[in-house]
Every structure is written in structure tokens, then in C-alpha cells.
């Protein structure tokens, strides 16, 4: 009886964490992949005045997700999370990416192109301690007034997923 009471008390004091909603994509999007990856390698940068840093990372090679289909991300320097998308045949659209951080109704934005010829890759990489913000994050891709996709992620403290948070030293 005492064990049952302890289990109930623990359940009532432990916050419940629901998985983020599934990604949503317009019919013009042929493929959408989400995931988490180790991003300790050096990357190029390009200007993105609509972001807090004023620039975004640009990988110099193809990046694969180390943890594909994952939308729960530990807040750990060197980890990144994002989306790869490809448009339906014959489509090429100019647009923008938007990333909403927890507690912010104003997104960070940058210009992007969406095509059927190659993957469009949008991601956020944790580079600094002040970026390790637990809570709901959301990526959106827009072409004019058309929402191409929206993908929610849940960033959790690193200790909630130590097997991922501590893995990058040996993968990158």
C-alpha cells in the first residue's frame, strides 16, 4: 500500500510531457523528414538579418540525421534539429523559413528556396548556452502566403535524454 501511495505521489508531482504534434505539409511538398543530428563540424555562414545572430549555418556537405523522425531534442551544445524537404515534381518556389522559439510570438526568419531537384534543409544548431531553451519550438516554411509545412519540436533539458546529449563526442 505504501508503494502504491508513493507511486501516485510521484506521478502527481512529475510533469507530463506530451510528444509534439506530427509535422503538417501542404500537398505541394513531396517529402518531409525531421530529426536530430550532431553538428560539431565547422560550417559556412550566410547573412540572415531576420535571425537573432544575423546569420545562419550553411553545411558544406550532406548531413544525415543521427536520430531520424525525432521531434524531442535535448538542449545540448553541438546538437542540431531540423527538417529536410523536397517539393512535388516541377515546383520551384522562393520563400522563407520561420523558427519560433519558446515564449516568442515573433519568428526568426531567413530567405529560402524550395525545389524538386534537391533537399531544402532548415535546422537550428545549439552553439551557445543562451540558446538552450527548453520548451516548444516550431519551424515553418512559407512561399508567399502559402504555408508549405509546419513542424513542432520539443526541446528538453539535456539530462532528460542523456543517451543523445552525450553521444555527439563520438559521432561527429
Residue-range domain boundaries for the chain: 26-171
**CATH class entry, domain 26-171:** mainly beta
Per-residue pLDDT of the chain (172 residues; tens, 9 = 90+): 443 343 343 343 334 456 899 999 999 999 999 999 999 778 999 999 999 999 999 998 889 999 999 999 999 999 999 999 999 999 999 999 999 999 999 999 999 999 999 999 999 999 999 999 999 999 999 999 999 999 999 999 999 999 999 998 754 4
pTM of the entire predicted model: 0.86
Each residue of 64-88: b (16+ CB within 10 Å) or e? ebbbeebbbbbbbbbbbbbbbbbbe
Amino acid at each position: 500500500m505504501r508503494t502504491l501511495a508513493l507511486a501516485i505521489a510521484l506521478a502527481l508531482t512529475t510533469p507530463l510531457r506530451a510528444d509534439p504534434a506530427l509535422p503538417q505539409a501542404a500537398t505541394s511538398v513531396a517529402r518531409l523528414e525531421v530529426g536530430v543530428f550532431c553538428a560539431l563540424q565547422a560550417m559556412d555562414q550566410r547573412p540572415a538579418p531576420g535571425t537573432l545572430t544575423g546569420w545562419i549555418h550553411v553545411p558544406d556537405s550532406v548531413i544525415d540525421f543521427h536520430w531520424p523522425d525525432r521531434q524531442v531534442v535535448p538542449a545540448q551544445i553541438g546538437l542540431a534539429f531540423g527538417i529536410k524537404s523536397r517539393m512535388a515534381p516541377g515546383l520551384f518556389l522562393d520563400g522563407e523559413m520561420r523558427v519560433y522559439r519558446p515564449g516568442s510570438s515573433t519568428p526568426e526568419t531567413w530567405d529560402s528556396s524550395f525545389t524538386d531537384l534537391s533537399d531544402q534543409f532548415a535546422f537550428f544548431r545549439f552553439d551557445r548556452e543562451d540558446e538552450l531553451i527548453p520548451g516548444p519550438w516550431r519551424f515553418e516554411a512559407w512561399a508567399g502566403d502559402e504555408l508549405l509545412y509546419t513542424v513542432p519540436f520539443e526541446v528538453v533539458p539535456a539530462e532528460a535524454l542523456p543517451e543523445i546529449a552525450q553521444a555527439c563526442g563520438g559521432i561527429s
